[in-house]
Chains A and B, each alone.
Chain A
Amino acid sequence: MKEYRSIRSIQGPLIRVDGVTGVGYSEVANIRLEDGSRRMGKVLDISRDSALIQLFEGTEGININGSGVSFLGETLHFGVSPEILGRVFNGVGKIIDDGGEIIPDKKLDIDGFPINPYARDYPEEFIETGVSAIDAMTTLVRGQKLPIFSASGLPHNELAAQIARQARVVGKDEKFAVVFAAMGITFEEARFFQKDFARTGALERSVLFINLADDPAIERIATPRVALTAAEYLAFEKDMHVLVILTDMTNYCDALREISAARKEIPGRRGYPGYMYTDLASIFERAGRIKGKKGSITQIPILTMPEDDKTHPIPDLTGYITEGQVIISRVLNKKGIYPPIDVLPSLSRLKEKGIGEGKTREDHGNVTAQLFASYARGKEAKELALILGEASLTEDDVKFAAFADEFEQRFVAQSVNESRDLAATLDLGWELLKKIPRKELKRVKEEQIKKYMKAGTD
């Protein structure tokens, strides 16, 4: 392999090398430092004989005269085999535990390829997470991409770990795995997940990719891609149901911004590049099911909203790609409610097709529609009471306000170790609806009231 000693410039995470021949776009570059260590990068732009390389690892120690660059003639690949289960890799897919080398079955391009929409199978198999607010209101199904929109200081990690621990498809005993990709999170956060996986015995069914806060930021560009390459292999070649947790996507996006800035591209909103939508889509669209394949990829990306702002480009573009969102609320968290999920702006777009008779329970859609509507009205009433005083509320509104409180405290709230099955969750919903005047129960059917609302109504 030819080594070029013609580095012309090093700027942020970018290196330009001149005088190259036969180098292809997106190809992997290997940079050899003076001390013999190696760094990886990829070709971002190749113009005549000059290649612009984006590093996946830090630039410290690279110099113009002493370092050399060679090109591998292929795009970045990750070696897969069933043995990756139970192992820990860094953000670019190098082993960092002490389990020894893995002999790969094959090497796969980390960028993957777009799934042919014609080959997709529609996700509609209900996953019971044991978390009422999710199972009832923002139902998760196999093959879905459902992010958690959180913010700093909120318990999104606890929730993600709880989901990973409890998630199951009722009545089925199938092979499943967790692929966990950490991007720029703290050592403690990563430890939290690792310990939790170890405690519940999930570790040997997990593949971990860890890029910590003090690891090079640009590594993060590769991390979700390597993780999803592992997931695709396990799901579509090894028939496993794979849950992928990507955290924190905000750090990923910041790395993307850093590279864009170094390239002096025209910045989009808040400095993030204009192609961030497409870039994120190339990650999130790797969730799903494929016709004729047993396995599936379900993604739970976690992101922290800067300034708690849902219109910030990171949550905004994510919401435009994913199939709903679970929103963690600071207000509920302050009230001491765990999990502090705000169900009103949360949404699962695949809920409709994953619930109902034969899938969950025949009343699922109606009773949750009623819970939504009643909770919304109760919250409104509470706001009104705040301005005008309790006395200004109509008799009905007082009932709705009381309902809203109970809904938060009894339905949304549960313990971090509690797994409620769906029947218990829905029954609890009916129980709470007793607080509401009968004539206001417009979203449920008369027969359902008879069947599910236990005696002792108002």
Chain B
Amino acid sequence: MNKKGKIIRVAGPLIQAVGLDDVKMYEVVHVGRQGLIGEVIEIQGEVISVQVYEETGGIAPGEPVEATGSPLTVELGPGLIQSIYDGIQRPLEKVREQTGDYILRGVRAAGLARDKKWEFKPLAANGTQVQEFSILGTVKESEAIESKIMVPPGVSGKVSGIKAGSFLVTDDICKVGDTPVQMMFKWPVRKPLPYTKKIQPSEPLVTGTRVIDSFFPVAKGGTGCIPGPFGSGKTVVLHQLAKWSDADVVVYVGCGERGNEMTDVLTEFPELLDPRSGRPLLERTVLIANTSNMPVAAREASIYTGITIAEYFRNQGMDVAVMADSTSRWAEALREMSGRLEEMPGEEGYPAYLTSRIAGFYERSGVVEAGTPPRTGSVSVVGAVSPPGGDLSDPVVQATLRMVKVFWSLESSLAYQRHFPAINWLNSYSLYIDDITDFYEKNSMKEFPAMRKQALKILQEESSLQEIVRLVGVESISDEDRLTLETAKILREDFLHQHAFDEQDAYTAVSKQFKMLGIIMMFHERAEKAVKKGVPIKQIMDIPCKEKIARMKIMDEAELPEVEKILKENFAALQVAGGGKEE
């Protein structure tokens, strides 16, 4: 069998070669004299096509191609947390040590540091029978994350020779059956990491962003997408999620986007503290950065690298959240390779398999049980989508919407008015509402779903009323309708509007959201009664408690009952005045 072939064609990130007899689809090959990393993406008779993860400038026909016998894999084990990788899991910190400020070619760097020792604490006793993903012990990866060391997939048997101590990821920590086991193992990125069974999501992924948690929540183990034109706020929302969502581990994939946005995360996350652990956010974060100017083929791989790492923590029993910014750039990478392969183009030039690839990616989310005894963990996935011109008929948006259950629709008109997050409340949706009602009940927020419904209804009515007002002016509509406009405005400005860069406003606990919304709904209800009694709308619009309501965002949760009290007093006072008039 021939392991070495010869290049016959180079066209950008695509090369073709002959002479490799038994190469498999998605096998990793080393290309050219510099041994650049590539992956086989097509086999046609003796000609194989390879997408190369590094720049191909200077490579000429006749240069060698060498098969490695292995698919593209990631290394899973201690050391993932706090790392920043490129699309094929090369640590960018190590890359910088090797090639300086710019990324040059031919860098080889292992995903997990080979020179770092980790303190291993065994949990499994010698002689116990274990299966794949059974827990052998733990390693403290960061102050925030205690990683479980699991039996690698495909291995089972009796544990022997297990010992505590300080180990490299490549040292043997024990034997399982006859197989020596280390703290790390490798797994092919394009293949989901096995689990025992999937279960229905039942808890919200709490994000602290009001429009999300209160109106369009995503479940732990669920999927969501956030399409929108440029500058509408996709990245800011994903950064907010990465910062504040109540996941154990966050995997942030910067896929074909700006370098500075990754730098932003790298400079900010070590400073910000996770409200739950009190530790820097970076201590629970893994970053994948394949920015727009980095090789396009590695961009295609980056989201698989990210989700495989997420599955690894999931199997340990953790809740993992994956953000992918932007899946459109990944789809474009697919399109570019497909174009170079001269495949039959589908819609907008995307290959026909676009839909199934997108489906395959989001299907890797979910709440699962893994290991014996079973542990429950989850992978939630939220993807940004960047359609041309913000047009939602784009094939990537459409294929994504068929898969995901939450849709946050960003709108440029809201962004121009600086209404952030610019998530349109009229056409966004979440299909998890029913799945998570139990959660509200258990956390004594039973009324939440009903309040949410009513608030959304008011906002719906506002939009039809606004059309009428545009035609006839506000003075011509009834006081009831004017009240609807007023409450809607409060909902928009004082509840939905949330400043991501304001320290107090950036994160709102769900319990506080519940109280805020409750107060606004109470306002509406009391005002409605007052209007029915004939209190002039002008009085309600000028009611003093409105100013307090506007400040609820930046108040402590404990101050809210005071607002409620003032509100009740204000309305009680009104009734007298209004009542007086009636007589």
Contact = CB atoms under 8 A, between A and B. Distances in A.
Interface of A: 21-27, 44-49, 74-75, 111-123, 143, 236, 265-269, 274-275, 277-278, 281-282, 285-286, 288, 290-291, 293, 311, 313, 316-317, 319-321, 323-325, 344-345, 347, 349-350, 352-353, 369, 372-373, 376, 384, 387-388, 392, 394, 439, 442
Contact of B258 (A274, A278, A285, A372): A285
B123 interface: no
Interface in B324-372: 329, 332, 335-336, 339, 345, 348-349
Contacts of A275: 296, 332, 336
B259 A115 contact: yes
A123 B263 CA distance: 10
B153 interface: no
Interface string B221-258: 00000000111000000000000000000000010101
B413 to A, nearest CB: 10
Nearest to A117: B262
Given A44-B11, A116-B96, A26 B56 contact: yes
16 contacts: A45-B9, A45-B10, A46-B10, A114-B103, A115-B102, A117-B254, A118-B266, A119-B102, A274-B339, A278-B296, A293-B101, A316-B230, A319-B231, A321-B258, A350-B260, A373-B417
B388 A316 contact: yes
Please name the 7 residue pairs, one residue from A and one from B, whose CB atoms are nearest each other, closest first: A311-B389, A281-B292, A26-B57, A113-B102, A319-B230, A285-B293, A25-B10
Interface of B: 8-12, 16, 55-62, 84, 92-93, 95-96, 99-104, 229-231, 254, 256, 258-260, 262-264, 266-267, 289, 291-294, 296, 329, 332, 335-336, 339, 345, 348-349, 386, 388-391, 412, 415-418, 470-475, 493, 501, 547, 550
Given A115-B101, A117-B291, A278-B292, A25 B84 contact: no
B426 to A, nearest CB: 18
B60 A22 contact: yes
Nearest to B58: A24
Contacts of B99: 116
Given A27-B57, A281-B256, A325-B231, 6 more contacts: A47-B11, A115-B259, A116-B92, A117-B259, A118-B95, A274-B332
A288 B259 contact: yes
Contacts of B92: 116-118
A325 B263 CA distance: 21
Contact of B58 (A75, A120, A350, A388): A75
Contacts of A48: 8-9, 61
B260 to A, nearest CB: 6
Contacts of A350: 260
Nearest to B339: A266
A387 B389 CA distance: 29
Given A117-B84, A347-B231, A122 B260 contact: yes
Given A26-B57, A288-B259, A290-B101, A282 B9 contact: no
B292 A266 contact: no
A364 to B, nearest CB: 13
A22 B474 CA distance: 77
Given A26-B56, A112-B102, A277 B292 contact: yes
Contact of A268 (B58, B348, B412, B493): B348
Contacts of A278: 256, 292, 296, 332, 336
A311 B418 CA distance: 20
A394 B231 contact: no
B59 A344 contact: no
Nearest to B292: A281
Nearest to A368: B418
Given A114-B294, A116-B96, A376-B416, A442 B493 contact: yes
Nearest to B235: A349
B101 A116 contact: yes
A90 B139 CA distance: 60
B231 A324 contact: yes
A49 B332 contact: no
A311 B388 contact: yes
Contacts of B101: 115-116, 119, 236, 290-291, 293
A123 B416 CA distance: 24
A24 B264 contact: no
A179 B262 CA distance: 27
Most chain A C-beta atoms within 10 Å of own C-beta, residue among B99, B104, B256, B263: B263
Contacts of A349: 231
A278 B104 CA distance: 18
Given A24-B57, A114-B103, A344-B416, A269 B388 contact: yes
A120 B263 contact: yes
B388 A24 contact: no
B419 to A, nearest CB: 9
A377 B100 CA distance: 50
B266 to A, nearest CB: 7
A25 B59 contact: yes
A23 B470 CA distance: 67
Contacts of B57: 24-27, 75, 111
Contact of A265 (B58, B260, B339, B550): B339
A115 B103 CA distance: 6
A376 to B, nearest CB: 5
Contacts of B418: 369, 372-373, 376
Contact of B95 (A46, A116, A325): A116
B294 A121 contact: no
A387 B470 contact: yes
Nearest to B56: A25
Contacts of B348: 268-269
A116 B102 contact: yes
Contacts of A274: 332, 335-336, 339, 349
B539 to A, nearest CB: 15
Nearest to A350: B260
A278 B294 CA distance: 9
Nearest to A43: B10
Nearest to B343: A266
A392 B475 CA distance: 8
B58 A26 contact: yes
Contacts of B93: 118
A114 B58 contact: no
A33 to B, nearest CB: 26
Contacts of B12: 25, 45
B582 to A, nearest CB: 26
Nearest to B296: A278
Contacts of B262: 117, 120
A350 B390 CA distance: 22
Contacts of A345: 412, 416
Given A48-B9, A373-B418, A442-B493, A117 B289 contact: yes
Given A114-B102, A311-B390, A387-B470, A24 B95 contact: no
Contacts of B289: 117-118
A25 B11 contact: yes
B473 A285 contact: no
Nearest to A74: B58
Contact of A118 (B84, B296, B339): B84
A126 B99 CA distance: 31
A376 B60 contact: no
A285 B339 contact: no
A288 B260 contact: yes
Given A26-B56, A387-B470, A442-B493, A285 B259 contact: yes
B329 to A, nearest CB: 7
Contacts of B296: 275, 278
Of the candidates B95, B292, B473, the one having the most CB atoms from chain A within 10 angstroms of its own CB is: B292
A47 B416 contact: no
Contacts of B349: 266-268, 274
Given A45-B10, A45-B11, A319-B230, A24 B84 contact: no
A290 B103 CA distance: 13
B260 A114 contact: no
B550 to A, nearest CB: 6
> Which of B99, B386, B388, B550 has the most CB atoms of chain A within a 10 A radius of its CB?
B388
